[in-house]
Structure 1
């Protein structure tokens, strides 16, 4: 049976118009952008009346941490991908700092095998780099793996890549896109020691943005950009957080850039004033910084120096987060609430809704050259989301799907709600419920 999403307000490719979409099997068969034809044959077609609803492409989140294997008390591929589709995220790209780490082709493949069995969303996984796994990194297949992740700042285990020779070899020889976490470790350690001398172990969380400072970010980001420029590397710099870093990037279309940039929802939503009320719940690396940094990120997002919006979804238990500064881990769960948070910012006048869709759906597809996703186009995979723009709701424990059970948005009222999510043409989420035994696919890349 085919599915017809009828009379929705479609937001796609910079346009907002009333139309209908016919889904045949796993792909979009027909788009009706004008009046619906009176002679349409409805036999064998399930009709979803979508008057008053927004229809958008599925969100593509290019940076998540789903914690499996080894850290499954925080989250699992199954639980976090369920939260993703509930939030309108139909494709995710997951990071390698699990236990064991995805730093060999064998361990990387295990993640793909696991996701195929349990993930309702489409998936890809980064190959992780270390100081001593260059040979494994260079085996990465650019047609089937989203990219190579390089931590140029502290991470779990041995994933900090600080050997200059290794960095140069990765940037010179990488077979596919290199994605970097950029914070200078020496600067962070210096600032941490200064804070310890002043406060002991009871460092206020408000000092986080001074310890993981804009200087630490800029030193590392500029180094990555310089390496990419030297070796003509396809570089994507993740979760940028400071005004100073914005001078490293240029406006323009993603398809015309070799160096691109990501911003995360939390750096657009929060600033250092929010540490007072949220405490370690908004402790991320890189840190949430001051209001002027947030304003600079918004400016760069709107003029296309920042190319995509993602989450860096990284769940921890609330017991882990409710700790002293140095003991509380960095990261938080976001993938269920990223789309509605950005639509809320659109409603408040920060960003046009068409731009939200560009940054969360179109641009990630273009940046990673994903095969037939990220747009509402005939012949593309039917990854689609229906959103009610007039259905207010409050984030609360009973509607949070993350395994960790909490959200930095708890108590926030959103005016938009995801009501249906289709992954590869299949209705995966409907009115608060996940469809069981419906799974996503491994994403392909046109490289």
Structure 2
């Protein structure tokens, strides 16, 4: 039995409304929301002036564990996650060995059970090596199957480049989300050759969105969507980066009934191609950050529900790996600690509402991946909760980063909101710069 936690006088953002109320947490669950009388044995948190949000579910991260723990691991990155209000994460399959079997998947769950401060889930990878095995297995219990990141292992692992394989998966796998990285590798390679001929190894990073172009993204997404519609299959397009692609998605269907879904990463709502000049390869992602017009189109599509969820694609590398010439620089950057702050900053700039932020970062990931009893401040649900001081200013600096890689493309950025408490399964894990690490997170279970 844990000591009940009573959060007093919070401004609760939940289920498209904002209300002032108290929240009572007992035995890891929300048990009451309203005007609640305090008892002597309660742990009372005065939340007057603070925002109370459901814990963020970041449904696309790369925590590098196992295989690449020199730059990140589940302990360090989950610590960064809870610092940033992320109470649950879903990790991608491009660790080493690649997560291409149930035994490797189960091993990752075991690692996380010992190391993670946040709740955790994992995608099963799929490529030509394990295709037949995946097609024969029961995948109904999996959060998703995905090819994301596996193209780093070897060429030809992107499903977007293999419509024959993608169609076979859609024919057989009606019980599982297929989450794909949508870029046409052939188009990217053609662009790489063109710019390599002109510049050699020293291609200006500003050309990254020309190499990983709108055409490469749009043609891959459209082909995959057309195939999924043909077979009435369940498709999720990861990390959307172009305004043109948003035209391929619908807002006419409730999320729980959608067959075709997508997401946007916080960096694509924050940065644009104008930032390459200052930040260089530090903001080199695949797919690439594109134009200011794309940024605005993505935000518009998020607000009007063509884009379903917000993720970070948290992908830490060492600075040595990042600060190389164009072709040698690794793609990806650490973001999980700052994703919620970015979105709250956009709220402060009147670009998005608090209710919409909570819908896209908390509610919808739980709905999309059918995660049991999470993503909402609701009686009987797991007590995953974040408290935010909406008035406190602070600046991102190396001394307040929790990433193992020790850097961020946001260094020097001033935020005007600060997270004060993160509660995971009813346990205070983070509070005003202090961590309570005795109780680890739990595996995400499908409803």
Residue 55 (structure 1) aligned with residue 56 (structure 2): no
Three-state SS of the structure 1 residue aligned to 2:341 is helix
The 8 Å contact of residues 314 and 332 in structure 2, kept in 1 or not, is answered as yes
Residue 413 (structure 1) aligned with residue 411 (structure 2): no
Q: What is the Cα deviation at residue 140 of structure 1?
A: 5.8
Q: What is the Cα deviation at residue 142 of structure 1?
A: 4.8
Residue 83 (structure 1) aligned with residue 83 (structure 2): no
Distance 1:41 1:157 in 2: 59
Aligned to 1:19: 21
Aligned to 2:191: 191
Three-state SS of the structure 1 residue aligned to 2:191 is helix
Note closer, same or farther for the CA distance 1:155–1:172 as it changes in structure 2 (3 Å cut): farther
Segments of structure 1 that go 5 or more residues without pairing to the other structure are none
Q: What is the Cα deviation at residue 118 of structure 1?
A: 0.5
Aligned to 2:297: 296
Aligned to 2:221: 221
Render the CA deviation track for 1:389-446: whole Å, top value 9, x for unaligned: 0111000001000000011111000011111000000001111122122211001112
Aligned to 1:9: 11
Three-state SS of the structure 2 residue aligned to 1:20 is strand
Match of 1:29 among 25, 28, 31: 31
Q: What is the Cα deviation at residue 244 of structure 1?
A: 1.2
The 8 Å contact of residues 105 and 140 in structure 1, kept in 2 or not, is answered as no
Aligned to 2:164: 165
Note closer, same or farther for the CA distance 1:41–1:329 as it changes in structure 2 (3 Å cut): closer
Note closer, same or farther for the CA distance 1:157–1:115 as it changes in structure 2 (3 Å cut): farther
Residue 244 (structure 1) aligned with residue 241 (structure 2): no
Distance 1:143 1:11 in 2: 32
Three-state SS of the structure 2 residue aligned to 1:346 is helix
For normalisation by structure 1, the TM-score amounts to 0.96
Render the CA deviation track for 1:338-391: whole Å, top value 9, x for unaligned: 001100000001101111111100111111111000000000000000011011
Note closer, same or farther for the CA distance 1:437–1:157 as it changes in structure 2 (3 Å cut): farther
Distance 1:230 1:189 in 2: 29
Note closer, same or farther for the CA distance 1:136–1:123 as it changes in structure 2 (3 Å cut): farther
Aligned to 1:98: 95
Note closer, same or farther for the CA distance 1:305–1:192 as it changes in structure 2 (3 Å cut): same
The 8 Å contact of residues 131 and 163 in structure 1, kept in 2 or not, is answered as no
The 8 Å contact of residues 124 and 145 in structure 1, kept in 2 or not, is answered as no
Aligned to 2:362: 361
Note closer, same or farther for the CA distance 1:141–1:50 as it changes in structure 2 (3 Å cut): farther
Aligned to 2:337: 336
Distance 1:156 1:437 in 2: 36
Distance 1:68 1:98 in 2: 6
The 8 Å contact of residues 179 and 237 in structure 2, kept in 1 or not, is answered as yes
The 8 Å contact of residues 64 and 312 in structure 1, kept in 2 or not, is answered as yes
Aligned to 1:178: 178
Aligned to 2:382: 381
Distance 1:279 1:100 in 2: 30
Note closer, same or farther for the CA distance 1:152–1:385 as it changes in structure 2 (3 Å cut): closer
Q: What does 1:219-298 align with in structure 2 at a 5 Å threshold?
A: 219-252=219-252, 253-298=254-299
Distance 1:151 1:384 in 2: 29
Three-state SS of the structure 1 residue aligned to 2:195 is helix
Segments of structure 2 that go 5 or more residues without pairing to the other structure are none
Distance 1:153 1:319 in 2: 22
Question: What value does the CA root-mean-square deviation take over the aligned residues?
Answer: 1.4
Aligned to 1:200: 200
Three-state SS of the structure 2 residue aligned to 1:9 is strand
Aligned to 1:324: 325
Distance 1:420 1:135 in 2: 46
Distance 1:320 1:139 in 2: 39
Distance 1:445 1:83 in 2: 25
Match of 1:64 among 30, 52, 61: 61
Distance 1:119 1:46 in 2: 24
Residue 108 (structure 1) aligned with residue 117 (structure 2): no
Render the CA deviation track for 1:75-125: whole Å, top value 9, x for unaligned: 001110110011000010000011100011111111001000110100100
For normalisation by structure 2, the TM-score amounts to 0.96
Pick which of 224-233 and 140-149 moved more. 140-149
Aligned length: 441
Note closer, same or farther for the CA distance 1:337–1:140 as it changes in structure 2 (3 Å cut): farther
